[in-house]
Chain A
């Protein structure tokens, strides 16, 4: 209706001269550049069940159920049936045995994987040469894998990383199956340093639930392209539980509806992770460690540009909104697509962890001295004697900040200022910078152990069944001693707790367009971008003195007219009498 009225408005102008107006009226021709999804042959209509590994020492946490392979499951249109390969017609005892068989044909795969972050857990920041990657950074959750490798490496794409001596050159230690299993029966549990379950065992211990030994032959004969469940087996469960870490990644993305993710909608476009995170020689595009916050210049379309093909612009281009009349495309100069199109993250009941306070760990135990676990009303961990206090939330409104894609990390041994909240990472970027955009972020807060004398964050030996592990002995000093020794860092022998925060760019769970932010959610006094400085935001910003003067004169003019009119009535009326 409004559109009609607007056409009528233009027709008003046509009153002057019909033909000329028609020529000058703004065209509303569509300029869509959105690409159609990949043909269905690439992604079978039924989602193949995939492996579900429990990544960290999440003993009392909810464990994802084994996904059953759907009866309608059909293999993708591959030219090879691995079930017919001679190399795979045997009984495999261990993961590395399978990998050797894989490498017999896929001769380059081993060293390809060895050059990825999935294998090295390390990356050098090209801007400032900081050593990053899971191996080198301290995070705001489980803090560091160092001295905890046996548990953490349940999510390493490899076998046998138990300590600092891991041999990164052995190709047979590459784990092909964690990404390529299509049966959903391949599981890696904490404590096994990345090996799958070889013998049926109770997990979590004392739960009465058992995890079956992986049938490696069957799994090897049924390998396929990575599905959402393959990627999700680690990336959905980061930091020890479903949805904990990212906020925009959790197991609801295994089979999401359109509301949750317009691209991954199982009934709709049904994208895989790799539809956007396209790989080349096992290198996965779209790393958080090396991201572009703004894409400039030509359209970074697949096949045309070599960088960041995982971005929104790779398919949608730089001017994605259809209407020429619309000023929406102008926003791409200042905003990331995600800012409007991901109005909230963790848009499900799983939610995401917003805070982890380590300072209360070991403080409260059951009367028998055993650790306790308290859950919140939604069944998410709220207190754990081993880990401290947690705060969870769902449907979270992001924090917004200028971001140029460059994160500055606190790495092991960096000095901190304990009088302030320690930023584990700090997003770079400023308002005037052409490489910066306003980005939505999850800000995870917490408290973690630090060395008050040396003023550094601390590596704690948390996981394990040995004499010094925190979760076994509940003795901070012993656990820190072992952790710092393993990390080869000096420790004064003292420890305290410092407030920390960590910033996570939000980029998944893209909502359907009708759920994107409306204009006035930012263009208003108390809007989403209240805290964003360095940009004039119409509807939010005013020149106060100008408004005051203008408004006052307007009122005086009105008042003057009223008085003038009133006096006229008064005088002429009297004269009439």
Chain B
């Protein structure tokens, strides 16, 4: 029958949820800075956004070390195998109540769609956000660094907004798919244990 495996280690769960809190707070403050609505006030929003950015960068530094020392980075290696099965499931089978086609194991914590999505998040969206964000933050040093000849604040800010939209879309899809999937998946991200 069902076997219980300890799939998400303590650090992994800490990383996931602290990242969730920080990214959501950065989305809220970020779009306020962009002038979409008023919530904390511009100054507070900038201050929180900046603090959250430093906190997230710190956590990321540890996460990267963790991924490589534990070999967990391999979880994000992309595969096209069975992507079609996943797509078919979400597009069709899910409506008939068919079981989720993916079975977690310690070697494969993420389904093929997740692998692709998380790789996109790590290798594509994050660099857009971090590079533009850090340039934005150190705008006053551009002249010293000779960057003012190549960059305009408007372009950097727009680039940052593009990254923010990618993260927002990711967040919408991620949250929806997490709550629409089997409850065990969600529980695993809280307790670490999952029945397979």
Contacts and interface: CB of A to CB of B under 8 A. Distances in A.
A9 B23 CA distance: 12
Contact of A561 (B43, B55, B173): B173
Interface stretch (A98-106, A112-120, A518-526): A518-526
Interface string A1-44: 01000100110110111001100111000000000000000000
A325 B41 contact: no
A547 B161 contact: yes
B8 interface: no
Given A333-B140, A536-B153, A542-B34, A12 B55 contact: yes
A368 to B, nearest CB: 60
Contacts of A550: 161-162, 164-165, 168
A565 B180 contact: yes
A201 interface: no
Contacts of B43: 518-520
Q: Is chain A's interface secondary structure helix, strand, loop, or mixed overall?
A: helix
B100 to A, nearest CB: 13
A505 to B, nearest CB: 24
21 contacts: A2-B44, A9-B22, A9-B55, A10-B51, A10-B54, A12-B21, A13-B56, A24-B54, A325-B47, A518-B41, A520-B38, A520-B43, A523-B42, A539-B33, A542-B35, A550-B161, A550-B164, A550-B168, A571-B95, A571-B97, A572-B95
Contact of B172 (A20, A330, A558): A558
Interface in B16-30: 18, 21-22
A538 B43 CA distance: 11
A565 to B, nearest CB: 6
A333 B59 CA distance: 32
A575 B93 CA distance: 13
B140 A553 contact: no
B58 A13 contact: yes
B150 interface: no
Contacts, number: 137
Given A520-B41, A554-B169, A565-B180, A538 B51 contact: no
B180 A568 contact: yes
Interface residues of B, number: 51
Interface of A: 2, 6, 9-10, 12-13, 15-17, 20-21, 24-26, 325-327, 329-330, 333, 518-520, 523-525, 535-536, 538-543, 546-547, 550, 553-554, 557-558, 561, 564-565, 567-568, 571-572, 575
B68 interface: no
B67 interface: no
A317 B38 CA distance: 33
